[in-house]
Amino acid sequence: MDFNFSEFEKKWQEHWLANKVFSSEADTSKPKFYCLDMFPYPSGAGLHVGHPEGYTATDIICRYKRAKGFNVLHPMGWDAFGLPAEQYAIQTGTHPAVTTQKNCDNFRRQIQSLGLSYDWDREINTTDPAYFKWTQWIFIRLYNTWFDKELQKGRPINELPIPENVSARGSQAVREYIESKRLAYYDNAQVWWCNTCKTVCANEEVLNDGSHEKCGTKEVERRFLKQWMLRIPHYAERLLNGLNQLDWPEGVKDMQRNWIGKSTGAEVDFNVEGIDEKLRVYTTRPDTLFGATYMVIAPEHALINSIVTADKKSEVDNYVRAAALKSDLDRTELSKEKTGVFTGRYAINPLNGQQIPIWIADYVLMGYGTGAIMAVPAHDTRDFEFAKTFDIPVVCILDPKDQADVELREKILKGEACWTDDGEYINSSNPELGLDINGKSKSEGIATVIKWLDERNLGQATVNYKIRDWLFSRQRYWGEPFPIIHWEDGEISVVEDENLPVELPKTDKYQPSESGESPLANATDWLQVTDKNGRKGRRETNTMPQWAGSCWYYLRYIDPKNDKEPFSKAKENYWMPVDLYIGGAEHAVLHLLYSRFWHKVLFDLGIVSTDEPYKKLYNQGMILAFAYETASGSKVPSDKVEEKDGKYFHIETGEELKQIVAKMSKSLKNVVNPDDVVDNYGADSLRLYEMFMGPLDATKPWTDTGVKGVFNFLKRVFYFFADKNNITDEAENTETLKALHQTIKKVGQDIEDMKFNTAISQMMIFTNHCYKVKKVSRETAETFAKVLAPYAPHLAEELWSIYGNDPAICQQPWPEVNESYLVENTFEYPVSFNGKMRFKLELPVDMPKEEVEKAATEHENAQKWLEGKQITKIIVVPKKIINVVVR
Partner RNA sequence: GCCCGGAUGGUGGAAUUGGUAGACACGUUGGACUUAAAAUCCAAUGGCCAUUAUGGCUGUGCGGGUUCAAGUCCCGCUCCGGGUACCA
Residue 568, SS3 per DSSP: coil
How far is Cα 593 from Cα 51, in angstroms, rounded to an integer?
A: 22
Piece of 100-108, 257-265, 603-611, 814-822 that binds RNA (CB under 7 A): 257-265
Nearest CA-CA partner of 881 in 846, 833, 825: 833
Considering only 699, 726, 728, 749, the residue that binds RNA (CB under 7 A) is 699
List the interface residues with RNA, window 293-322 (CB under 7 A). 298
Nearest CA-CA partner of 416 in 407, 403, 426: 407
Should residue 247 be labelled a site residue for RNA when binding is judged by CB under 7 A? no
Piece of 104-112, 399-407, 816-824, 872-880 that binds RNA (CB under 7 A): 872-880
Contacts of 60 (CB under 8 A, 6+ apart): 687, 691, 751, 756, 790, 791
Nearest CA-CA partner of 114 in 865, 846, 686: 686
Residue 260, SS3 per DSSP: helix
Considering only 309, 327, 438, 464, the residue that binds RNA (CB under 7 A) is 464
Between residues 520 and 668, which has the closer beta carbon with respect to RNA?
A: 668
How far is Cα 830 from Cα 24, in angstroms, rounded to an integer?
A: 52
- The residue type of 24 is S
Between residues 223 and 840, which has the closer beta carbon with respect to RNA?
A: 840
How far is Cα 438 from Cα 396, in angstroms, rounded to an integer?
A: 12
List the interface residues with RNA, window 643-672 (CB under 7 A). 646
In the chain, DSSP finds a helix count (H) and a strand count (E) of 29, 39
From residue 33 to residue 72, the character string flagging contacts with RNA as x (rule: CB under 7 A) and all else as - is ----------------------------------------
* Cβ(511)–Cβ(90) below 8 Å: yes
Piece of 308-316, 444-452, 768-776, 782-790 that binds RNA (CB under 7 A): 768-776
User: Is the bond leading into 577 cis (omega within 30 degrees of zero)?
Assistant: yes
Between residues 569 and 774, which has the closer beta carbon with respect to RNA?
A: 774
Nearest CA-CA partner of 286 in 163, 460, 168, 131: 460
How far is Cα 382 from Cα 364, in angstroms, rounded to an integer?
A: 10
Between residues 770 and 808, which has the closer beta carbon with respect to RNA?
A: 770
List the interface residues with RNA, window 376-415 (CB under 7 A). 380-382, 385
Min CB(654)–RNA separation in Å: 21
Piece of 223-231, 278-286, 724-732, 845-853 that binds RNA (CB under 7 A): 278-286
List the interface residues with RNA, window 205-244 (CB under 7 A). 208
Considering only 679, 828, 850, 858, the residue that binds RNA (CB under 7 A) is 828
Question: b vs e for 554-586, b when ≥16 Cβ sit within 10 Å of the residue's Cβ?
Answer: bbbbbbbeeeeebbeeebbebbbbbbbbbbbbe
Min CB(680)–RNA separation in Å: 13
**Sheet bearing 536-539, strands edge to edge:** 492-494, 484-487, 536-539, 528-530
Min CB(708)–RNA separation in Å: 6
List the interface residues with RNA, window 611-650 (CB under 7 A). 646
Should residue 328 be labelled a site residue for RNA when binding is judged by CB under 7 A? yes
Between residues 15 and 331, which has the closer beta carbon with respect to RNA?
A: 331
Nearest CA-CA partner of 282 in 161, 199, 365: 365
Cβ-in-10-Å burial (0-12, 13-18, 19+) of 840 comes to exposed
How far is Cα 310 from Cα 404, in angstroms, rounded to an integer?
A: 45
- The residue type of 189 is A
Piece of 121-129, 650-658, 722-730, 762-770 that binds RNA (CB under 7 A): 762-770
Does the CA dihedral 23-26-32-36 come out positive or negative? positive
DSSP-assigned beta bridge partners for residue 705: none
Between residues 310 and 325, which has the closer beta carbon with respect to RNA?
A: 325
Considering only 149, 506, 644, 873, the residue that binds RNA (CB under 7 A) is 873
Between residues 174 and 202, which has the closer beta carbon with respect to RNA?
A: 202
How far is Cα 462 from Cα 283, in angstroms, rounded to an integer?
A: 9
Between residues 174 and 773, which has the closer beta carbon with respect to RNA?
A: 773
List the interface residues with RNA, window 700-729 (CB under 7 A). 700-701, 703, 705-706, 708-710, 712-713, 715-716, 719
Between residues 555 and 707, which has the closer beta carbon with respect to RNA?
A: 707
Between residues 116 and 295, which has the closer beta carbon with respect to RNA?
A: 295
Between residues 115 and 701, which has the closer beta carbon with respect to RNA?
A: 701
CA distances from 807 to 12, 25, 390, 720, 738 (A): 9, 21, 81, 21, 28
CA-derived radius of gyration, the chain: 34
List the interface residues with RNA, window 488-507 (CB under 7 A). none
Should residue 821 be labelled a site residue for RNA when binding is judged by CB under 7 A? no
Should residue 685 be labelled a site residue for RNA when binding is judged by CB under 7 A? no
Between residues 310 and 406, which has the closer beta carbon with respect to RNA?
A: 406
List the interface residues with RNA, window 576-595 (CB under 7 A). 585-586, 588-589
Between residues 313 and 663, which has the closer beta carbon with respect to RNA?
A: 663
Half-sphere exposure of 310 (CA within 13 A, CB side): 1
Considering only 129, 357, 694, 878, the residue that binds RNA (CB under 7 A) is 694
From residue 739 to residue 758, the character string flagging contacts with RNA as x (rule: CB under 7 A) and all else as - is ----------------x-xx
Between residues 25 and 254, which has the closer beta carbon with respect to RNA?
A: 254
Min CB(14)–RNA separation in Å: 28
List the interface residues with RNA, window 343-382 (CB under 7 A). 362-371, 373, 380-382
User: How many positions of this chain bind RNA (CB under 7 A)?
Assistant: 92
Between residues 76 and 297, which has the closer beta carbon with respect to RNA?
A: 297
Angle, to 10 degrees, between the axis of helix 129-143 and the axis of helix 590-604?
Answer: 70
Should residue 154 be labelled a site residue for RNA when binding is judged by CB under 7 A? no
From residue 520 to residue 549, the character string flagging contacts with RNA as x (rule: CB under 7 A) and all else as - is ------------------------------
Min CB(763)–RNA separation in Å: 8
Considering only 169, 223, 278, 840, the residue that binds RNA (CB under 7 A) is 840
DSSP H helices, 541-589, are 547-550, 553-556, 569-575
Residue 635, SS3 per DSSP: strand
Min CB(692)–RNA separation in Å: 7
